[in-house]
Structure 1
Amino acid sequence: MNGEPAAGAMDGPGVKAVLFDLDNTLIDTSRAGAEALRKTSELLKSTLALDDQTISIIIDKFKQKLFQESFDPSAGRSIDEVRVGHWQESIQEAVGSCSSPSLAAQCYYLWKNSRLQALHLSPEICDLLRKLRHRYKLLLLTNGETQTQREKVEAVGCEEFFDAIVIGGEHSEQKPFVSIFTLCFNMLEVKAQECVMVGDSLDTDIQGGVNAGVRATVWISRAGGAVPGGSVQPDYTISTVLDLPDILDQLS
């Protein structure tokens, strides 16, 4: 853990609330996603009898489409339909022939359901949240498409630990925009300087916290690496959210 706070991090009022990101902060979405892609690769291999390299190309194309995804709920297609399309296009681009829509749907729902099944809040994190809630107001603030994020919240059963849950896709702006943080402060009836923002993304969680003027930002860096040059500087860096109490004690 980086125990040295950034300049100014120790100044200010006491902490009354903690805002948490969800993916790769409280739950290991990356690991769950990798497991889901492994299972989908096996399905493709058994169905299409393709070599490992071609399967890898399909998977990489799907991951790229997912990363570049721009979902518009007013366009008349559900997120499920859009992502079935990602699989169909990925298979077609890699194989060079049109794949069956039913296979693309099989791939999508296997990937989706396998990922949800692999997500969980560890007993240690559940215990952490219960203890923190005795001292602070807790809010879950996650970016992403509404259905997808709500399904994750339901899958891991985290509603009981938070005073409020805010899904970015349900609002006009997501992290790092100030408007969604202001909404959170108002919901909890606290000031920005009474809040700590905790998350794994420098671009959304930490930058958003800085933009909104929170008391302190805490970056979860599982790899334990230094903050990249040119990036926003978090007040604290820890490798796991389980180290958060030490920082909150310093701030109190």
Structure 2
Amino acid sequence: MNKLENLKIIIFDLDDTLIVEVAAVEAAFLATCELAHKKYGIDTENLYHTVKSHGRQLWNAFVDIEYCNNIGIGYWEGLWGNFIGDHHNLKFIRDRIPTYRYQVWYNALAEFQINDSIFVQKLVDLFGNELRQRLVLFPETESTLKQLSQNYSLALITNGISDLQHEKLEKTHLLAYFQHITISGEEGFGKPDPRIFKLTLDKLGISAENAVMVGDNLSRDIKGAQKIGIRGIWINRSRKTLSQDICIPDAQISSLIELLKLF
């Protein structure tokens, strides 16, 4: 991708683009399960996979899956989010989330013949604490944003519930870099829905040809943006094989620092 002479704004995804997410979630699960290993001798990896299985099963059984898919949230948010907001689905989840969290860990431990309600609640609380300690930026995130913000306006479009995404942004001190932040949980729809990209452009008064989207997910971030004419830059840290049946990004990078060469 050559330097865009008409580029005015760079839009970023948040999770696994600017902030470590998947690795942080996995590490938090393993750290929490390790406590059960120390107390009861349960294999850490086995419990980890058992918890994930029960998390998905119970989540799918009580939430409006279509709504959750629309805003891009999954069972792991249910294990640590507060689900603040006025949408009836958020209220529904918020009212039931303490029971959900307890039941996930209770059911997982029951498979190892453990019945300890006090310990279950300890694991519930520990997972959220462990994950919050792991809300960190990729090493190059802040320096890249600082340099890019000297010449371009920056915006953010992220899928997720409002309280968690704001917590991540505040803890990692990213808020000051963005002219506008769009969170799917506040709008009722998220990436790859073209509406969330258009909403951001409209809020900024920018046309699609003056914007570029940077994200780690080909389908949600890149294809979604390209649908309304925004160029898409795929950050492919793990150097996955490009799946051209999804979409072809306008550029591909393995580190955010490479954006400084593109622009």
Is this a same-fold pair by TM over 0.5? yes
Shift of 1:76: 5.2
- From the superposition, tell whether residues 62 and 195 of structure 1 become closer, same or farther in structure 2 (CA, over 3 Å): farther
Letter of the 1:91 partner, please give it: L
List, as ranges, runs of 4+ consecutive aligned residues in structure 1 with deviation greater than 4 Å.
10-13, 62-68, 96-99
What is the rounded CA distance, in whole Å, between the counterparts of 1:84 and 1:204 in structure 2? 31
1:162 aligns with 2:178: yes
Aligned with 1:34 (options 26, 32, 35): 26
The aligned counterpart of 2:109 is: 91
1:149 aligns with 2:165: yes
- From the superposition, tell whether residues 186 and 79 of structure 1 become closer, same or farther in structure 2 (CA, over 3 Å): farther
Letter of the 1:34 partner, please give it: E
Instruction: Give ranges in structure 1 of 5+ residues lacking alignment.
Output: none
Question: TM-score w.r.t. structure 1 length?
Answer: 0.82
Instruction: Give ranges in structure 2 of 5+ residues lacking alignment.
Output: 60-72, 79-88
Letter of the 1:61 partner, please give it: S
Shift of 1:35: 2.0
The aligned counterpart of 1:129 is: 145
The aligned counterpart of 1:44 is: 36
1:4-153 correspondence runs (5 A) = 5=1, 14-52=6-44, 54-61=46-53, 64=56, 69=75, 72-75=89-92, 77=94, 81=98, 82-92=100-110, 94-95=111-112, 100=117, 102-122=118-138, 124-153=140-169
Structural RMSD (CA): 2.7
The aligned counterpart of 2:234 is: 219
The aligned counterpart of 1:202 is: 218
The 10-residue stretch of structure 1 (129-138 or 59-68) with the greater mean CA deviation from structure 2: 59-68
- From the superposition, tell whether residues 144 and 76 of structure 1 become closer, same or farther in structure 2 (CA, over 3 Å): closer
Question: TM-score w.r.t. structure 2 length?
Answer: 0.79
Shift of 1:115: 1.7
Shift of 1:84: 4.1
Identity %: 28
Aligned residues: 237
- From the superposition, tell whether residues 97 and 40 of structure 1 become closer, same or farther in structure 2 (CA, over 3 Å): closer
